[in-house]
Structures are given as C-alpha cells and as structure tokens.
Chains A and B, each alone.
Chain A
Amino acid sequence: MDRTEPVDRPIGTTTVAGGRDAEDEVDLIPIRTYWQLARQRFIQHRLAVIALFTLLVLVSIAIVVPTFTGLEYRLTDLTERNAGPTLTAPLGHDELGVNLFVRLAKATQTSLIIGGAAVMIIVGIGTFVGSIAGYAGGWVDNLLMRLVDIVLSLPVLFIILMIVSFFGGGDVRVIIIAIGITGWTLAARLIRAEFLALRGADFVQAAKALGAGHRRIITRHILPSAMAPLVVAAALGVADSVVTEAALSFLGFGISATEASLGTMLNKFSIYFYSAPERILYPSLVLVLIVLSASFLGDGIRDALDPRQRIASK
C-alpha cells in the first residue's frame, strides 16, 4: 500500500501551510490533565467504583470501631454468652460473650494492615528484581529469573510456617515479612516481562538517542508505562496476603489466639459450622469482599492509568 509516488508539492507551499492542513479535530477536545482523564476513565469502570466504595467502608469500619472500643474486642462477659444481636452488638456475642461486631472490626483491621504492609514488600522487591532483570537482560536477567524460579518452587506455606515458628509466632511484623519475602515472584515476573517489552519500544529508544540516562529512562519512560502490571501485581498481592494470613491463623501459626484476625476467627468458630454458621459467615464474607474489591479496584486503576483507553461520550 505504501509504495506510492509522493504528490508533488505546489510551488510556494510552506511548512506552516502544511501544518494548517494537519490541524483538525484535536482542537475541539478540551484540554484535560492526565489525572483528570484518569479519574474520568476510572469513574466509567462501574465495578471498580463499587469496589472502591466497599473497600472504603471496610477500611473506615476497621479504623473507627477499634479506635473507639479499645480493648473491647477481647473483653469477655459471661452474662452475654451467645446473646443475640443488639444495637451495640449487631452481630451478637460468642460463647464467651465477646461482642462479635467489635471483634470482626478489629480482625478486619489486622488483616488489612497485614495485607497492605506485605504488599509493599511484595511490590517493592518485585519491582526491584523485575525491573533490573527486564532492563539489563542477558545474564543478569537469566540469573535473577532462575532465583525467581527457585523461590517459586519452594512450598510457600511451609516456608512461612518455618519463618514464623523460628522468629516467634504471633508477631504481626514477622508474619508480614514472611508473607512479603515469599510472595514477590509473581510481581517480579510481571514487571520483568513489561520491562523486556518496553526496553525495545521506539519511545524508549528515542529517549536513549536523546541522551537520557538509565535512571531517567526507567523512572520516566518504562515504569509509568509498566503501571498496569504493577497495579495488577499489587491487587493480587493484597488479596493473596490477606488470604495467606487467614490460612496461617486458621492453622494456628498466625496471630496469637487472643488477638483478632479473620483467620483466628475462622479457626475459633469452625466448630460452630452446623450450630451457628453465621459466625463463620461474617469473617468469610469480609475476606471475600477484601479480595474481590482489591482485584476489581486494581483493574479499574490499571485502565484509568492507560491514556489510550477511550472515554465514552455522554
């Protein structure tokens, strides 16, 4: 198709005149900044908006309730054992008379803190390893990716259990670090693949031709374009960490039994599977909501950050 004779230019046509031809519908679109456009695209993603709202509700409950109730989540009151829902205890009390709503709020807080902190480690290590491997390529890439393979081949839960039992169970910080240093491989792979693809992209080559340094190329050109896998990795990381923490606590290796977490609650109430299934339902529901919201929110942010995504006209 492109094998054509260039049209001869009429005499006297200047560059500026050529430019006038080129200028068209672009002028009709109002100028909006990158973030304005991103917000607009995000709002169009209905599921993501719902997810954001759900997460905000969960986070505010997790912040507000424990702040005002203090240590009430471990307060037993035998006069209230197995009591039904009331205004101050909308989810009722357990067999020791603990206010289940307060305890669930505290448990949500613990899980979110663990999920959030662990995901920072996951994304941090993952981005670091993945970007170096993808940008450098060659033997560096080979070496780092074999390291990823090794970490990936280890039985994760077993390693976490070992770390936790070695460095003291029940400590939130140990659990966060244990989840973080075993969970970064997916993030590293996603980011490495993106870097590998973007390294050869024309706009990166152009930046190189302009004389931009490695740091500038990575931070200004490749990383912003690699946001999509980064956000996906973070969303999956949050979901994964929360679930892993729940599994650990369920097995009795997580948070100490007196502290509240979604896993310890599930563990404790598993005996009521037939008699009082709602006690299992509440923490499970919170767990599912956190995981789903994180992943939908991730999708929404990823699409919102992509300037090529079209904004539907109203």
Chain B
Amino acid sequence: MTGPEARVTSQDRPDAPPDPESGSPLWKPAADTGSHTGRRGASGAETAPDAQGEVLVKVTDLVKHFPIRGGLLGISRLGAVRAVDGVSFDVRRGETLGLGGESGCGKTTLGKVILRLLPPTSGDVSIKDRPIFGLSGSKMKAVREDMQVVFQDPYASLNPRMTVGEIVGEGPLVHGLKNRVKREELVRELLGKVGLNQSHIHRYPHEFSGGQRQRIGIARALALNPDFIVCDEPVSALDVSIQSQVLNLLDDLQRELGLTYLFIAHNLAVVEHISDRVGVMYLGKIVELADVDTLYRDARHPYTVALLSAVPEPDPRRRRKRLVLRGDVPSPVNPPSGCRFHTRCWLREQLGNPENCVTDEPELRTISPGQQAACHWSEKITPEGVQSAAEHQPPVALAEAAAD
C-alpha cells in the first residue's frame, strides 16, 4: 500500500483552501481526471485508515428532539422525544463507520439529520470542514453532491412512476447535466457499475427484485459522485442470500471509488463484516465507539457486551451463554437519569448498584487507543464477570430468552 503519499497527493492538501472541483460530479471537468474510477483511485486502495486519517465528516454534539405537541391548536408543547441527544463523532475519509443499536435508539434519525433531511435541534455537522447547518438553498445543494444516502426499503425508496434512467439520472439533471444523451450514457455506466443490465434503463422499479432495486438505489447515490454515503440499513429489508451480494457490492464500490460510509444497521454481524469502526447507540447516545476488532473482542460498555452476546454463533458446537437484558428500552421522552443504561445494566448489579450510575451521566472517554466508551465502570468488565452475569440471570429473563 502506498499509504501516506497516496493520501497527500489525491486528497486536499493540508492548509490549502478546499479545491472547488475536488468533489465535482463526473460531467463537470474535474481537476485531476474526469473518470469515476481514476479520480480517487489511489486513496481508495486504503480501506483501513489509521487513527490519524483525515476527518471527512465531523458530527459535534448533535441533538434532535421531536416535540410532542398538544392542546387545542396543537401549539402547546407537552414534551419531546429525544431521538438523538448529544452525539459527537468523526468519520474519516475512506473508512466505514458502522452504527448499531436496538430499534428506536435513534440511529436512523441521526443519519437523516446528518444529511439535513430533518432539521437539527442543535449541534453541528461539517463535511470537508464545512458546517452544513445554516447553509442556504444553493450552497446546500452544492454540498449534496458530497453526501448521499441509500435507504433501507428498496420498495419505498424508488419513485414507482419513474424509469430507472430517470431515477438514477435525476441527481445529474438537478445538478446541471441537461443533455439527455450524456445523461443516459452516465446512467448506463452507473448501472454497469452496480451490476445491473444496462438495457434496464427504461424499466420501472416494480419490475425488479429487492436486491436489484437496492442496486438502483446505490446507483442513484453514486450518480453525483459523492465522497460520503449514509447507508441506512441498506440490507435489512433484503433476502438473506441477497444481503451478502449487496454488502459485497458496497465493499467493492468503496474500494474502487474511495467512498466513505456511515453504515447504519441493527444487525451486528453485518456491521462487523463491513465496518472499520463501530459506534453503538443506546437511547439517542453513543455508548461505545471503537475499532471493529477491539469492539468485538473486548467491548467496554455493558450494553455492547449484552448486544454482542445476542449475535448468533455460527458454530453450533461452541455454546455461549446469552446475556439477556431485562425489560424494554426506556422511553426516549423521559430517559433515565445519570447513565441511561443503568435501569437494565448487569454490570451495575454486579458492582452492588453504585450511586454514580444514577446521578452522573458518563462521558464518552478513551479506554484504550481507538476505543471510547461511556461507562463509569468500563474497567470492571471482565470475561469472568460477563460469564457469571449470564449464569446468574434471574429466571424471568431466562424464560424471556427461551420465548425468543
């Protein structure tokens, strides 16, 4: 791997003003090469960046509350669903940041707010050092060339009344590629890139299978030649056999085009497969953020430990005790005080219910290089402790586990 040199040549030089053409779409003349593959080819070879990798997207203290309104005119505010409640992280160029967590933990909302599909309550998101909240219409439109999205449900994410060509070509059209012939050429190239037959350009989404539709959705995201793609559970609606195909496609495209992904999924096996780093969310907060190997080998947040114990073991001879969490996720309207996980925490129980879990909110702190966790007692997690917690679960929890 050519490593650092490659990055310096192909990416923005430090201190230099951001090159206006570095993120330009294919049909606009690019600074280095006009080809989709050539432009970031060198940097794309590097899939596992080190901790010093260039930050592409920076999320700072992002908050998204959905107000619950009521009253006669629907104006008075009764409370708020704290879907995302103070999340900060960086996404480095060329990496895949996985984002996992139970349903309802706010991961999809987080993705939408980062893309500015939902207005934020507070906080900041910047891409290529450019804060995107507060940008006016035309400037925001330019930023949209840098960040794209692949949705979960390929049946809902494609306009049923547009042909594949219109769907994939819409981005280029909106961003100024008015020439129909050139647009069609581009769409055909993109269809080939995502493994679809180019002759399908005039067909409608309903004529395709789920996996093929997801490929169309990916082609649409690629059409603007973005640097950053938010993949919002891109495979969870697909058939198991198709899931791996689409994951591999995403993997290949990342290598080929030097893409950066924020990969949102509730399936930790999928997250492990595709991610370089993984963030785990619980009730609108990131509780642990670590390199994928570290996280799966040595999780430092009791919630992560419990989640990981729920990942099915492919080897039937290796029996492993599941650590089943009792109760439901508390309401995001009124989250628990202190550590949000304290109501279901097995570690807290093991340590004899320490006071600070209820009173102090733990910050995301660095446990080891490349690993951050938001737990006061991260160091107390030991394999033996996990083992005994799994074994000493009260019978109710075991019954629940059996019922699963």
Task: Give A residues with C-beta under 8 Å from B.
Answer: 1-9, 13-24, 26-27, 29, 31, 33-34, 139, 142, 201-203, 205-213, 216, 220-221, 224-225, 306-308
The answer to whether B241 has its CB under 8 Å from any CB of chain A is: yes
Q: Which of the 9-residue segments B58-66, B190-198, B386-394 touches chain A?
A: B190-198
List which B373-387 residues lie within 8 A (CB) of chain A: none
B131-144 interface mask toward A, CB cutoff 8 Å, 1 = contact, 0 = none?
00000010011001
Q: Which residues of B contact A213 (CB under 8 A)?
A: 137, 174
The answer to whether B117 and A34 touch across the interface, beta carbons within 8 angstroms, is no
The answer to whether B197 and A225 touch across the interface, beta carbons within 8 angstroms, is no
The answer to whether B240 and A209 touch across the interface, beta carbons within 8 angstroms, is no
A210 contact from B171, B204, B212, B236, Cβ within 8 A = B171
Q: Given A202-B151, A205-B112: A18 and B249 within 8 A (CB)?
A: yes
Q: Which residues of B contact A29 (CB under 8 A)?
A: 207
Q: Which residues of B contact A203 (CB under 8 A)?
A: 156-160
Q: Given A18-B245, A19-B215, A225-B160: A205 and B151 within 8 A (CB)?
A: yes
Q: Which residues of A contact B238 (CB under 8 A)?
A: 2
The answer to whether B212 and A26 touch across the interface, beta carbons within 8 angstroms, is yes
The answer to whether B115 has its CB under 8 Å from any CB of chain A is: yes
Task: Give B residues with C-beta under 8 Å from A.
Answer: 73-75, 112, 115, 117, 137, 140-141, 144-145, 147-149, 151-153, 156-163, 170-171, 174-175, 192-197, 199-200, 202-204, 206-209, 211-212, 215, 217, 220, 223-224, 235-238, 240-245, 247-249, 252-253, 267, 269-270, 273, 311-312, 314
Q: Given A26-B203, A203-B157: A209 and B117 within 8 A (CB)?
A: yes
The answer to whether A6 and B269 touch across the interface, beta carbons within 8 angstroms, is yes
The answer to whether A7 and B244 touch across the interface, beta carbons within 8 angstroms, is yes
- 5 nearest A-B pairs in the assembled complex, by CB-CB distance: A19-B195, A202-B157, A211-B144, A211-B141, A6-B244
The answer to whether A307 and B206 touch across the interface, beta carbons within 8 angstroms, is yes
The residue in chain B whose Cβ has the minimal distance to the Cβ of A207 is B170
B153 contact from A7, A15, A202, A220, Cβ within 8 A = A202
CA distance A221 to B166 in the complex (A): 11
Q: Given A4-B243, A29-B207, A142-B73: A23 and B267 within 8 A (CB)?
A: no
The answer to whether A208 and B117 touch across the interface, beta carbons within 8 angstroms, is yes
Starting from the known contacts A5-B312, A205-B112, 15 additional A-B residue pairs (CB-CB under 8 Å) come to A3-B269, A3-B312, A6-B244, A6-B269, A8-B244, A24-B209, A26-B200, A27-B197, A201-B156, A202-B153, A203-B157, A210-B170, A210-B175, A306-B160, A307-B161
Taking the closest CB of chain A, its distance from the CB of B336, in whole angstroms, is 27
The residue in chain A whose Cβ has the minimal distance to the Cβ of B151 is A202
Q: Which residues of B contact A18 (CB under 8 A)?
A: 195, 245, 248-249
The answer to whether A224 and B161 touch across the interface, beta carbons within 8 angstroms, is yes
The answer to whether B270 and A209 touch across the interface, beta carbons within 8 angstroms, is no
CA distance A94 to B245 in the complex (A): 78
The residue in chain A whose Cβ has the minimal distance to the Cβ of B156 is A202
Taking the closest CB of chain A, its distance from the CB of B278, in whole angstroms, is 15
CA distance A211 to B157 in the complex (A): 15
The residue in chain A whose Cβ has the minimal distance to the Cβ of B141 is A211
The answer to whether A308 and B244 touch across the interface, beta carbons within 8 angstroms, is no
Q: List 27 A-B contacts (CB under 8 A).
A: A2-B267, A3-B312, A4-B243, A15-B249, A15-B252, A16-B192, A18-B245, A19-B215, A22-B212, A22-B215, A24-B209, A26-B208, A27-B197, A34-B161, A139-B75, A201-B156, A202-B156, A203-B159, A205-B112, A205-B117, A205-B149, A209-B147, A210-B175, A212-B170, A213-B174, A306-B160, A307-B206
The answer to whether B151 and A225 touch across the interface, beta carbons within 8 angstroms, is no
The residue in chain B whose Cβ has the minimal distance to the Cβ of A13 is B248
CA distance A14 to B147 in the complex (A): 25
Q: Which residues of A contact B174 (CB under 8 A)?
A: 210-213, 216
The answer to whether A31 and B203 touch across the interface, beta carbons within 8 angstroms, is yes
The residue in chain A whose Cβ has the minimal distance to the Cβ of B112 is A205
Q: Which residues of A contact B199 (CB under 8 A)?
A: 27
Taking the closest CB of chain A, its distance from the CB of B246, in whole angstroms, is 8
